[in-house]
Structure 1
């Protein structure tokens, strides 16, 4: 695969960012990809959260450095910043829902937060094959949202916001497969804040103590929370985020290993190479060579 800077779009193929905190967009898969040979090359969005709903057909999906082949009914969750690409079989039926992150920020303070927040932070696949009853509840909401986006009607923005939250709640139900989990509200909020802090400071190589101070808690309590929620320590979580960004840079840019190491806050490229090999199993150069293969 030819390497270049990672394309950064508002919507795919549109280089300008749509500066509207209440922006959402829904379209069928064919209208965006049909004229492009049913292929969307790897790219990412700065402030857009996306959901792809596949009703039928087939899709080869790339999320960061992972690839998956999906058939039938699926939902694909793509948080902001995740590199993603698709190749659809012709006549694949589905919708792409793009949501400006600020539109969802109000949900953080609502009762829906514990259901919606987990979907916003990590890319995932949600299987609806064999669960057509659940999909039959989801699809009319998608169609109604599509209708709201087409016609100018009173209360359109508010109705769209309610429909988006309903869609996210249904996706959460299917993702957890009906298992109800009791989550302490304070701990859930702290876990989400930790993820947001790591996103802001992973290049600064913060220590566990710095993250704990920022959250006004102790290092031991934060590590317990992190283990319980993510099954990792604070530092392991931060290192995983560094590794992910390193992989993105190695796969999708032409920058040298040295340039990437400095961009990620490493003062010594040699240490970066050892760090990368310890976590990935390969030196950076070999990882890049192994990734240098045709895109999906």
Structure 2
């Protein structure tokens, strides 16, 4: 039976948040999932980034409403708040790195910010199968981070922070090699990161483009040009996209009624919410829920 809320965890299965701004955790995929039938059920983390590094094996990955079957060497980026689940093939070899958001705050003020911050801004899969040389550079860093987590040392947090940054930079390089994102797009997305943060904080309030422009101290036309250059979408389209993601999450992973979801997302009229959803997806929310349930069986 579906729950009324999507579960939040510190780490998977551990409901309490670990209140440590320097917290990071690394574990073997087998250690976490083998006694669960190699399955991790849908959940999300409020204040943790996660990076899954698959060295070998196979995984069925769901990030919000998107599913992928991954074989071989991959990295999977899971930002805070993204609903995710995994079904690994037995004997899949890999690691899960969980990072507290405050641990990366310093990195966001450094030269590395224009590479790291956009990388962690949205869920993605990074394919290493075509470039094992890059993976051979990545894996020793993973092993070193694992070693650091095993000992209590005076400089443990600092060494771990450097290793995590190095890991993220290699992931950025590989993402670039795969042609997922051009250098210009990285620069533009980092320049308007504040816009995405504002949307995350206010999408339920249905702010107008003018509201976002005023908060950023710019004009609506200039902000729309910047948004379209970076995302090929207007500010309003970004807001609607964020509303749609949250609507899909609630329809797939909770048992709340369409009316309850509508009000939770700031729609005063459930009928308008249903029209908004159908216009975006081609089907009403009730039908989307039924089809999603059938696909997950």
Q: Residue 277 of structure 1 aligns with which residue?
A: 278
Aligned partners of 2:18, 2:246: CA distance in 1, in Å?
25
Residues 54-79 of structure 1: per-residue CA shift (max 9 Å, x gap) = 00001011111111101100000000
Preserved contact between residue 114 and residue 183 of structure 1 (Cα < 8 Å): no
Normalising by the residue count of structure 2, what TM-score does the alignment of the two structures yield?
Answer: 0.96
1:261 is aligned to 2:259:
no
Q: Residue 168 of structure 1 aligns with which residue?
A: 168
Alpha-carbon offset, residue 267 of structure 1: 0.4
Q: For structure 2, which runs of at least 5 residues remain unmatched after alignment? A: none
Aligned partners of 2:264, 2:183: CA distance in 1, in Å?
39
Preserved contact between residue 28 and residue 94 of structure 2 (Cα < 8 Å): yes
Of stretches 224-233 and 147-156 in structure 1, the one that deviates more from structure 2 is 147-156
Q: Residue 3 of structure 1 aligns with which residue?
A: 2
Secondary structure at 2:152 match in 1: coil
Q: Residue 237 of structure 2 aligns with which residue?
A: 236
> Do the aligned partners of residues 183 and 111 (structure 1) sit closer, same or farther apart at CA in structure 2, a change above 3 Å counting?
farther
Counting only pairs closer than 5 Å after superposition, residues 167-246 of structure 1 correspond to structure 2 as 167-177=167-177, 181-182=183-184, 188-246=189-247
Q: Residue 47 of structure 1 aligns with which residue?
A: 47
Alpha-carbon offset, residue 183 of structure 1: 7.0
Aligned partners of 1:248, 1:182: CA distance in 2, in Å?
31
Aligned partners of 2:201, 2:238: CA distance in 1, in Å?
13
Aligned partners of 1:31, 1:183: CA distance in 2, in Å?
37
Alpha-carbon offset, residue 91 of structure 1: 0.6
Alpha-carbon offset, residue 6 of structure 1: 1.1
Secondary structure at 1:150 match in 2: coil
Computed over aligned residues only, the root mean square deviation of the Cα atoms, in angstroms, reads 1.5
Secondary structure at 1:103 match in 2: helix
> Do the aligned partners of residues 17 and 294 (structure 1) sit closer, same or farther apart at CA in structure 2, a change above 3 Å counting?
farther
Preserved contact between residue 118 and residue 186 of structure 2 (Cα < 8 Å): no
Q: Give the paired residue count.
A: 294
Aligned partners of 1:104, 1:133: CA distance in 2, in Å?
27
Alpha-carbon offset, residue 106 of structure 1: 1.5
> Do the aligned partners of residues 39 and 189 (structure 1) sit closer, same or farther apart at CA in structure 2, a change above 3 Å counting?
closer
Q: Residue 130 of structure 1 aligns with which residue?
A: 130
Alpha-carbon offset, residue 123 of structure 1: 0.4
Alpha-carbon offset, residue 154 of structure 1: 3.1
Secondary structure at 2:207 match in 1: coil
Preserved contact between residue 198 and residue 212 of structure 2 (Cα < 8 Å): yes
Q: Residue 24 of structure 1 aligns with which residue?
A: 24
Residues 241-293 of structure 1: per-residue CA shift (max 9 Å, x gap) = 00000000111111110011000000000000000011111100000111113
Aligned partners of 1:48, 1:153: CA distance in 2, in Å?
23
Preserved contact between residue 190 and residue 215 of structure 1 (Cα < 8 Å): no
Secondary structure at 1:121 match in 2: coil
Residues 219-252 of structure 1: per-residue CA shift (max 9 Å, x gap) = 1110011001111000000100000000001111
Aligned partners of 1:30, 1:190: CA distance in 2, in Å?
39
Q: Residue 294 of structure 2 aligns with which residue?
A: 293
Q: For structure 1, which runs of at least 5 residues remain unmatched after alignment? A: none
